[in-house]
């Protein structure tokens, strides 16, 4: 699920025994927002010719390096060479993705602690806020490292879509148990 407080409250109210597993897409979205705040603050801090390296590079910085075109890679290389703070932030952003490859919670925690230690003295406030948010939601982040939770996100999204269709069909029915039954039977394989 998303790390939104309303989702957490709803889960606690309706399924208190459920374990939380936060979707890495939402965590990485917050990391992308932190990266963009660093880019904007650097643009505001710089003057004259130095600004030209930062201007128009939002999507170049937010994309994964492997997904960039040749021109995008050149622009990124030039930007990272020209601005140390953006280079540091970009390295931290790119390296954070390794967290999701950890196969044990202890390894993930050690990786995160080292990643957060790398922030010290860098003056990257948006990244520090991001690290604090990850720390607050650690239980649901670390749950992703368990082998039984390595579910492809496309599968989860497809499951959620099926549930929404079943909910629309069941519109007007006030019985939660009937809706639960419809969801469970809707997931059975065809006979």
Same domain as 60, residue 32: yes
Same domain as 134, residue 45: yes
pLDDT value for 153: 67
Same domain as 97, residue 9: yes
Say how far apart CA 181 and CA 176 lie, in whole Å.
9
Same domain as 115, residue 57: yes
Helix axes 176-186, 153-169, angle to 10 degrees: 130
Q: Distance of alpha carbon 20 from its chain centroid, rounded?
A: 15
Calculate what percentage of the chain has a pLDDT beyond 90: 24
User: What does the pLDDT look like over 89-108, one tens digit per residue?
Assistant: 999 999 998 998 888 889 99
Torsion over CA: 150, 153, 154, 157 (sign): positive
Same domain as 157, residue 144: no
54 by DSSP, 3-state: which? helix
Domain span at 120: 5-149
CB 89 within 8 A of CB 127: yes
Same domain as 113, residue 23: yes
């Amino acid at each position: 699920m998303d790390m939104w407080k309303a989702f957490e409250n709803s889960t606690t109210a309706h399924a208190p025994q459920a374990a939380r597993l936060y979707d890495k897409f939402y965590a990485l979205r917050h990391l992308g927002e932190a990266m963009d705040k660093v880019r904007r603050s650097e643009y505001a801090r710089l003057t004259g010719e130095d600004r030209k390296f930062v201007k128009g590079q939002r999507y170049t910085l937010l994309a994964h390096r492997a997904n960039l075109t040749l021109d995008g890679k050149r622009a990124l290389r030039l930007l990272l060479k020209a601005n140390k703070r953006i280079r540091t932030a970009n390295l931290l952003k790119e390296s954070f993705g390794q967290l999701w490859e950890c196969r044990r919670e202890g390894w993930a925690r050690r990786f995160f602690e080292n990643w957060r230690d790398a922030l010290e003295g860098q003056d990257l406030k948006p990244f520090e806020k991001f690290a604090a948010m990850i720390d607050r939601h650690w239980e649901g982040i670390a749950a992703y490292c368990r082998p039984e939770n390595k579910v492809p996100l496309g599968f989860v999204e497809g499951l959620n879509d099926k549930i929404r269709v079943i909910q629309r069909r069941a519109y007007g029915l006030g019985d939660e148990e009937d809706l639960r039954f419809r969801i469970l039977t809707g997931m059975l394989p065809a006979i």
